[in-house]
Structures are given as structure tokens and as C-alpha cells.
Amino acid sequence: MTTDLGTLITAADRWDGMAKEFRDQEVAYRRDVHGISLGGGWQGLSAWTASARFDVTLREYQYAQKEAKAIASLLRDAHTQYTDLKGKLETARREAIAADMKVSDQGVVSYDYEKLSEGEKTVLHHDPDYRQSFDKAVTSWQDRIDNAVKAVNDADKGVEIAFQRAVQDSDLLDGTANGFNGSASGDIEKYEADELADIATRIESGDATPRDIQEARRAFRDNAKDTEFHQTFLNNLGASGTIEFSNALSDLGHSGKDKGLYAGLQGDLANSLAVATKDTGSAFYKKFRADLEKAGTRTFDLDVAGEKLRVGPGAEQQVRGYQSLVTLMQQGDGYSGQFLKDMATDIRAAEDGKQGGNPDIWDLRGQFSGKRDGWFANDPLDGVLGIMSKDPDTATSYLDPGADGKNDNLEYLLTERDWNHVDTSNWNGKVEIAGKDTFDKDVRTGLGLALAAGATGNVPGGEGEELDRHTAAQARVLHDAVNLIDYGHPNGKFGEDAEHPRVGRADEVLAQDDYAALRGPLSQALADYSPDAVDIISGDAPGGRSGKADVYEHGDASQIQNSRSSLIRMMRGVSEADDTTNFERIYHAQQGYMSEELMGQDFPNVTAATNEARKVGEVTGALNAVGGDVKMDIHDDKISDGTDTRFYGYHVGGGLVTGIPVIGDAAQRLVDVSLNNWLAGVQAEEGALSKEELSRGNDIAQDNLDRTFDAWGEERRMAPETTEAAAGEARQSYVDGRQIAYEALRSRT
């Protein structure tokens, strides 16, 4: 902190002066010595020998200038770094003192208790919680000071490496033994990147020392955001070298000791890839992507995959480059959207038979799912989609069919792609023969997450957003996804011919085991589209109950226009599971939206109130019928008098259901009433289904509607006759809604 950093600039100026003196000496040497051998007066072997030696000396004068200038540049680079980091450390110390901290000359932080009043000191002595708040503050400031000091040390080590490498003779065949460096660079980060590439090679060969590992982590940490550093480093490795380095880290990170250390290095490498590829228009990016297209389909050794099966056709199997690279990418974040889309495009080209690819290119023996093996991206396209889901705008862009319908990525993924990437075998006596391909247990996981992100604009699994409409691109993603899953065509049932009508079967498709990973994310998307779904089920949507082939485009207030029956089959399909979370998410979200509408609209007369009540009754009837088909009684063991009250966004057992849209306080009070006894109404529908008594009424559900509208009347201070008329309309419409759902589910027709 007391060093005069200006001396670095003074030294740099002196090194520039040294370079100038070497230039003067070069001129004199060229004129007075080197030129002698070039004239005609000296000939023969001695002249030839002298000329060669003079050439070496002349180059050394030139190399000396290069090295001196590089040293000067390194000193100035160091000055810039040290000045910046010293300033940050001084700022951290100054702000800590302003926050009533003491900072010693050694950087130790403590609270300045002298600034406390006597009363505060007494409370501090007797109140552990009060004292703990001071301890947390001290720890926070200490961490900031420590990190600032570490940053200086990291930079200092980088400068040391640069100086050591800058004075090493880079050409051992130039006629000198450890002469001047004719390739010296004035860029500290370049030397750090070169050193890191050498360490990567030693790690791959098993020759790395603990000091090498520490230096690698330091270099990554010191240059975390430096694009030039990461591009230089990855350019040194090349696409193949990057894959091989990542595979080596995977093997070390999943076997032996120091697993966490190597996992941390892999995270550093993933960050390096993200930073280096951020500028997708750079020369580096274009070259790296071109190299990756070749390396991505090549086979590489990966012990943890190759040793998975030691006998049979898959023994010592190798993996593809894209599989390894996506495995690496899953350890980081912050990738540019264009890089992710380019990766997905190139991987599809490698596997899509229509583009000359091989659909079986990713096939491997053994399962790569679950806590033990799910880390490996045996399906690289699905892996990229999972990464893409963290960047919803990119997911939307990649999956959006477009207003002209020319982007077929969504259709390819949902109807054309081969998702079976697990090779199997059968035994015929003592002979093992290849069997039929099957799917991994985590099949379509990335696709499900990308669909939810692309359709909603939200990161899947996060907290619910306020209920709203969506952009045209987002709506197209969900609209076409529903149609593709239900009818196998983006236009849904529209465009069918009389001889081959399309049949909706989303409930059956999503019930299949290989579609399980789509259910949760799609239920989040459907919950987010509650305004659209409620309008469609009740017939108030722009496309009516039958829907249209495309979305209703209206800027940020665009809507899906699927048919009512398609949405009901989708709701039933995503609810296919041993856990009813997905159904509860949709149920709660739609009830929340309808409560918002009841509490937020003006109802000037009875007709306006009964129109809204019709929608509530019809949608609730459809939801309850779907829930009855889901078999909600799997939660019977969780239900008791103590947990019978279920609030918005919570399971029957009290656990939180994520992804529920946010509603206002008034709507919250109303929806809590409607959800107070909702499960009993759903189970009553289940009883009717099991006994095939579809025509019998559901008194429990209709009583619950009465209670909801009574509460609504009280909250809004409605006239009793208005409340009664609304409740009556809701009860009647409930019957219509449940029948709609029964008809939509083919098994009930």
C-alpha cells in the first residue's frame, strides 16, 4: 500500500531507452561489421562463415530491441493493473472505516466499539443476537478486504510469469544458446494463457504438480473476465484440446481424491469458454466453431464412460466431442445466446438424417442419468437446451417457429427426432447381440426446461410472476408445442382431410415414460398462461373454443389459440404422475386468475356478474373433471383436519408449489376460500368416474362455489340478489365444464 507505483513507469521509460540504444548499435553493427562480408573484397569459406555468424549477431541486436520493448510494455501493463487493484483495496478500507470498522495495517478488520454508546455496549454484552449482527458485519468486510488483497497477489503472480517467459529464448535454432527473445510480447495475459495451456497438457498426461493446479486456478481467477486471455488460452488448446482437457478433468473429478479441486477447475474452464465465445463475430469464434464442427463428431477417450461396461460390444466405448463439450458447458453459465443457438444448430446437423447426419451418433451403452451418472451429457442437444433454459430469450428465439413458420426446430424436437440414445443387447447363449435402442431415464429434460422458458420468458422453477399475456414469439412456442404434442402437427386439427383426420392424444403421449420430463415444465407454462386457458375453456378467447391454426398476435398481449379440448388433454397429460404437484399448480393458477378477475373488474349489473360467474363455474367444472381422472386420492394419507385448509400455492400437505403466478391481496383472500375445500370436490368427480356415473351431480363442488361467491359478495359489498344470481350461474356452468372435460378425454367419450 506504500509502494510508489510510479517507479514502474520510470523503469518502463528506461527500458524503452535501452531498446533505442540497441537500435543505434544495430545500425552501427550493420554498417561497420555486417557489411564487410557482403562486399566483393572478401570471398571464400571464411567469408561465408563470417557472414553466417554476423547474421546471428545482427538478429540478436534486433531481438534485444524486441525484448526490451516487451519488458517496457509489461511494466506499464503491471502499473495499470496494480494501480486499479490498489485503488479497489483503498476504497474497500475507506468504506469499511466509514461503516464503523477498524482496519489494521495487516488488513485485519474489527468493529470500532468505541463508537457505541454505553447503552449499546450493555445490550451488546447481554444480547447474543445483537452481538452476532456485529460479527456478521465484520466477517463481510473482512471477506471484501481479503478478496481485494488476493486479487493483488493473483495479478502479481501473473506479472512474475510474464517476466520469466518474456526473457526466454523462443527459438532454440537461431544460432544462440539462450539469446534474446525475438518473439517477446508485452501482454501479461498472453503469457498467463500460454502457461495455463502448458499446465493443461501436464494435467492430461498426469504430470501436473499440486503447484500447477494452484497456478491454473489462480490464472483463471485473475483473468476471469478477460476476453483476450480466454481466447488466447483456448486458441492454444484448439477445439480438440479443449475437449481432451475437459475429459481429463471429468475423469479426475469423478475418481480418486481431490474431486472438488478438479470440479472447480472444470467450472473455470467452462467460464473460460463462455467469455471467449461471447463475441460471436470475432475471428476467434469463427475459427473455434469451425474446428468444433469437426471435433464435435470425433470420438475421444473418457474413462468414466469407457469403463462403464467392461465386456460386450460397448467395452471401452468412446464418447463424441459434442457430448464432452456440453458436459463441460453444464458446469458454467453466462454463454451468449448466439453461441448456444449455434451449438444446437451444429449438433442437430450432426444427428439429423435430413441434413446428412446420423441419428445414432450419440448412442452409448449404459445409463447416464441420476445422481451418479446424470452429469454426463450423453444427449448433447438436450443438454444445450437445458443450458438455454437459463436464458429465456434465447430459448424463445431458438424454438419460435416464426410468423412464417419457417423455423422447424420445435417440430423437429417434438415429432421427428430420435430420442433413444441407449444401446442395448441380448444374449443368445454365450453370444451377445445388439438389441433395440431405448431412452435414458432423464430423456427430454432439457427440452422440457427450454419449452417452459421459451413459452413464458421465465427461468423454469423460479418464483411465480404476475399474471400477464405474452409476446407473439412466446405464444407461438406454447401454441405449436400443444398442437404438436396433441395432434402431431403445428396447426393442430386444422388442415385435416376427411380420410385421415388428426386425433388429439396429448394425454396419452405425455403419460408415456419417455415424456415424463416434459410434464413439470409444461405445467409451469400452462399455469403462466392461465388467462389464455381460462378464456379458451370458457369460450371467451379470440379463437373461441375450437381455436385457430395460429396464435392471436397482439404485441406483448398475444395469446395462444389452441382448441379447448387440446388444452384439457394437455392438463391431463402433464398431471400423469405419482405426485399431483403439476395438476395443483395449474388448478391453483387458474383459480388465482379467476379470483383476480372477480376482485378487479367492475360489475355494473347482474348480467355482468353472471357472465363472469359462468366462466368461473365452467372452468372449475373442467378442472375438477380433469383432477378426478388424475386420481387425487393418492394424497389421502396426508389429509387430516389439521391440513384440510389449503391456501393458494400450497400442497395439501402444506408444501409450496413453485411457479404459481402472483396475485393481489384481495384476490388472495378470495382464492383461499375457493381452495379451502377444493380437493373434496375433485375427489367427488373421481368417485363419479370410477362408478361411471358421469351424470350425477357434485354437491361438494357446487357448495364450494356458493361459498366462494358469498365471500366475493362480502368483499365487494354486492347486492344479495347479484351474489345469488352469480352463484346460481356458476353452479349451472359447472355441469357444462365437467362434461367438456369428459368429452375431451377420449377414454371418457
Whether residue 117 is found in the same domain as residue 235: no
Question: Looking at residue 416, what DSSP letter applies?
Answer: I
Residues 565 and 692 in one domain: no
Q: DSSP 3-state assignment of 526?
A: helix
Do 449 and 370 fall within a single domain?
Answer: no
Residue 553 CB-density burial (10 A; 0-12 exposed, 13-18 middle, 19+ buried): middle
pLDDT value of residue 372: 86
What 3 state SS string does 91-150 have? HHHHHHHHCCEEECCCCCEEECHHHCCHHHHHHHHHCHHHHHHHHHHHHHHHHHHHHHHH
Among candidate residues 193, 333, 364, 194, the one with its CA nearest the CA of residue 271: 333
CA atoms within 13 A on the CB side of 494: 14
Do residues 344 and 424 both lie within one domain? no
Residue 394 CA to residue 282 CA, distance in Å, equals 20
- Determine contact, residues 245/273, Cβ cutoff 8 Å: no
The answer to whether residue 189 sits within a structural domain is no
Say which DSSP state 559 is in: B
Q: For residue 101, what are the β-bridge partners? A: 111
The CA distances from residue 173 to 64, 170, 708, in Å, are 17, 9, 90
Whether 296 and 367 map to the same domain: the answer is yes
| Pair 32, 88 in one domain | yes
Q: Are 573 and 507 in contact (CB under 8 A)?
A: yes
Number of domains in the chain: 4
Residues 382 and 409 in one domain: no
HSE-CB of 237 using CA atoms within 13 angstroms: 30
Convert the pLDDT of each residue in 119-131 to its tens digit. Answer: 988 998 889 999 9
Other CB atoms within 10 A of residue 485 CB: 25
Per the CB < 8 A criterion, the answer to whether 357 and 348 are in contact is yes
Domain boundary, last residue among 388, 417, 452: 388
**What DSSP line would sit under 423-450, residue for residue?**
E-EEEETTEEEE---B--TTTTHHHHHH
For residue 599, being part of any structural domain is answered with: yes
177 within a domain of the structure (yes/no):
no
DSSP 641-675: GGG----TTB-TTSPBPTTPPB--HHHHHHHHHHH
Question: Are both 244 and 363 inside the same structural domain?
Answer: yes
Closest-CA residue to 667 (of 558, 571, 557, 588): 588
Low-confidence stretches of the chain (pLDDT < 70) are: 39-40, 256, 308-315, 430, 432, 497-499, 632-646, 652-653, 690-696, 746-749
Q: Which residue bears the cell 562486399?
A: 39
On whether residue 183 sits in a domain, the answer given is: no
Which of 162, 5, 11 has its CA nearest to residue 85?
Answer: 5
Residue 549: alpha-carbon gap to chain centroid: 31
Q: Residue 282 gets which letter from DSSP?
A: S
Do 373 and 252 fall within a single domain? yes
What is the spatial distance between Cα 455 and Cα 472, in angstroms, rounded to a whole number? 10
Question: Looking at the domain assignment, is residue 602 inside a domain?
Answer: yes
pLDDT in tens, 274-330: 999 999 999 999 999 999 999 999 999 998 887 766 544 445 789 999 999 999 999
Question: Does residue 76 fall inside a structural domain?
Answer: yes
Q: Dihedral (C-alpha) 116, 120, 122, 128: value to the nearest 10 degrees?
A: -110
Asked if residue 139 is part of any domain, the answer here is yes
Same domain, 19 and 107: yes
Could you please report the per-residue DSSP string of 463-517?
PPPBP--B-HHHHHHHHHHHHHHHHSSTTTTTT--SSS-----HHHHHHSGGGHH
412 and 520 in a single domain? The answer is yes
CB-count burial class (<10 Å; 0-12, 13-18, 19+) for 643 = middle
Q: Residue 727 and residue 709: Cα distance in Å, rounded?
A: 6
Domain final residue, candidates 524, 555, 577: 577
Contacts of 729 (CB under 8 A, 6+ apart): 610, 613, 614, 617
Residue 478's domain comprises 400-428+437-577
The residues, any chain, with a CB within 8 Å of residue 535's CB and separated by 6 or more, are: 541, 559
Res 337: pLDDT: 98
Domain stop point among 527, 555, 577: 577
Half-sphere exposure of 304 toward its Cβ, with a 13 Å CA cutoff?
22
- This prediction's pTM: 0.89
Alpha helices by DSSP H, 505-562:
506-511, 516-528, 530-538
Question: Do 133 and 245 share a domain, yes or no?
Answer: no
Residue 57 lies in a domain: yes
